[in-house]
Amino acid sequence: MNLRQIVAAVRNPKNEEDERTSNRRFPGKDCAWRTAVKFSGLRAKSQRKRSAVVTRRSRLVAGNWKMHGSRASNGALLQAVLAGLPRESGAEVVVCPPYPYLQQVSERLAGTSIAWGAQNLSEHGSGAYTGEVSAAMIKELGCRYVIVGHSERRTLYGETDAQVAAKFAAARAAGLTPIACVGETLAEREAGRTEEVVARQLHAMLEKADFGAAVLAYEPVWAIGTGRNATPGEAQAVHAFLRRQLSPDVRILYGGSVKAQNAAAIFAMPDVDGGLIGGASLAAGEFIEIVRAAQ
């Protein structure tokens, strides 16, 4: 059974009647298809079992600062966020500044409720890799999280599924929590390939390491930095699809043009556990409102 068939089976569990019909239509020879049906049956059964288990996933809001900031502006932003965050925040908050500012951010946030992380890491442990930063180095700066496989890394820097998977494994091995990003382009969505693409990206990582306590971020490429967010329903559909392939306690964040004004509706979806926030994480007021919406 190939990936496309697994995706079809997970998305659209068939009942026995469908299977009988299909056997009539494809008598005896479409084995892969029937294996997919069988697989989907098992999947559906385990889903029912899982839904009986009450899982309480904590909310997480992560700010991806991308290549923005200066010592002065970072200081002011953190000051304002710390001052404005509710004392008893029900959501975990993380900021991911550019590498050179991790030291500054770690000093400012030590002892506060906000964690910090990096935006990328090398898949290698050490060696002649000019310009790269290892998981151990990131760890040494007190990072708990690291973003892996962001679509900007994939599209602008040519990171392949295999490379992203190696980075994911390196982060896991070092005890960092990867925020692993998956998402389809507009052309892929319009071609009806969203699930196939995100499943391929996810399974590449799962082949290299257990998902464990890692965080998944669904970030449709067409929604990143465009001002056009996925509707809550569109996000929920993909999150539910991804959830079916993971342990029920994995946190799945939505990312792509989340703002104060749309956050509550997106976070209200049952399979959305928070957000990965780009542009809006650079404005303290917006970011604080998004964190409030996640509680």
Catalytic residue of the set 92, 152, 196, 219: 219
19 is catalytic: no
Q: How far is the CB of 58 from ligand PGA (least distance, A)?
A: 20
CB of 217 to ligand PGA, least distance (A): 7
Across 148-169, b (16+ Cβ under 10 Å) vs e yields bbbbbbbeeeebebebbbbbbb
What residues line the site for ligand PGA (CB under 6 A)? Answer: 64, 219, 224-225, 255-258, 276-280
Report the residue number whose CB is nearest to ligand PGA: 278
First-to-final CA distance of the chain? 41
User: Which positions ≥6 away from 249 have C-beta within 8 Å?
Assistant: 55, 57
Cβ(117)–Cβ(144) under 8 Å?
Answer: yes
Catalytic residue at 150?
A: yes
Distance CA 216, CA 98 (A): 21
E strand or H helix that includes residue 62: strand 59-64
**Residue 224 CB-density burial (10 A; 0-12 exposed, 13-18 middle, 19+ buried):** buried
What is the smallest separation between the CB atom of 179 and ligand PGA, expressed in angstroms?
A: 9
Q: Which is nearer to ligand PGA, 201 or 257 (CB)?
A: 257
Nearer to ligand PGA, 10 or 266 (CB): 266
Q: Which is nearer to ligand PGA, 222 or 241 (CB)?
A: 222
| Gap between the Cα atoms of 261 and 110, Å rounded | 30
**Minimum CB–partner distance for residue 280 and ligand PGA (Å):** 6
Nearer to ligand PGA, 13 or 256 (CB): 256
